[in-house]
Amino acid sequence: MLNKYLNVREDVLAAIEKGEAVVALESTIISHGMPYPQNVETALQCEKFISERGAIPATIGIIKGRLIVGLTEEEIEYMGKEEGIVKVSRRDLPFIVARGGDGATTVAATMIIAALAGIKVFATGGIGGVHRNAQETFDISADLQELANTNVAVVCAGAKSILDIALTLEYLETYGVPVVGYQTEEFPAFYTRKSGHAVDYKVESAEELAQAIKAKWDLNLNGGIVVANPIPEADELDSELITQAIDDAVREAEAQGIQGKETTPFLLAKVKDITAGESLTANIELVYNNSRVAAELAVALSRL
């Protein structure tokens, strides 16, 4: 049945069937997260870092209604340049597929498709979460529900600092999603290494993390794991600068009535402008860092 919808690149499929290390990557960062050509360059470099560490990279996207697990270099270029590619989360998947459309997968959609293909590790930039003023707007990312239900470990630089991080962590706790700090006791805030909030557990190595993840799923404790991997110290932004930039961007979004899935791309673009491009550089470096750690985790899991 799934073959009707799912295309898995040959080398990715072979690795999955042999129980070898595979790392999923999303495509929203390509189509909606960065300008061209940095988006394509970043996506290809992430794949290179993963390959160098002994895992197979599998960038996920939707082209002409097909769920593609393992985009080719030409397909990544297409995702980076083509206009009108839809940002796809769980609710959008059936319609984009049925209509034969093109879609860039969010964290939630990438988790779903990775799980369908049998991939257990996914590297992204930052997870979505509870938006500021959610008590009035009820704006909560579908990423959180996917983490509650889908068996994929998500390596990220924490939650985007445009969100309400305290409420995001509270939501994850309610749904039993472990938030694990990779060599850190503090949950990172995307552009910065610290948020003022603690993680549930700290691990020092990919091997230690892999043991805990295996135990979770062996015990039929379904759902994902947030692997919080801070941006490298040399690349983090000044906390006061980024806080001011985000506050200004949030006020502008509210003034323009921007809501829902358009909020995050708008805020990230405004923060990039306010920080004179520094946030884009930081974004690229943290994604590279997450790709490296995800590859090490996938290799460690494959050995168990």
Pairing of strands 153-156, 179-182: unpaired
* pLDDT tens-digit readout, 5-40: 999 999 999 999 999 999 999 999 999 989 999 999
**Known catalytic residue at 272:** no
Secondary-structure percent of the chain, ordered helix, strand, coil, rounded to 5: 50, 20, 30
Structure tokens at 18: 């042999």
φ and ψ at residue 227, rounded to 5 degrees: -100, 105
**Of residues 120, 160, 216, 272, which has the active-site annotation?**
160
Match domain 2-303 to its CATH number in 1.10.357.10, 3.40.1790.10, 1.10.4080.10, 3.40.50.300: 3.40.1790.10
Domain segments of the chain as ranges:
2-303
For range 186-208, the mean pLDDT: 96
Ranges 127-136, 156-165, 207-216, most confident: 207-216
**Known catalytic residue at 160:** yes
pTM exceeds 0.85 for this model: yes
CA separation, residue 174 to residues 112, 181, 298 (Å): 21, 18, 27
DSSP state, residue 199: -
- Place 1 in a pLDDT band, splitting at 50, 70 and 90: low
**Of residues 26, 77, 146, 296, which has the active-site annotation?**
26
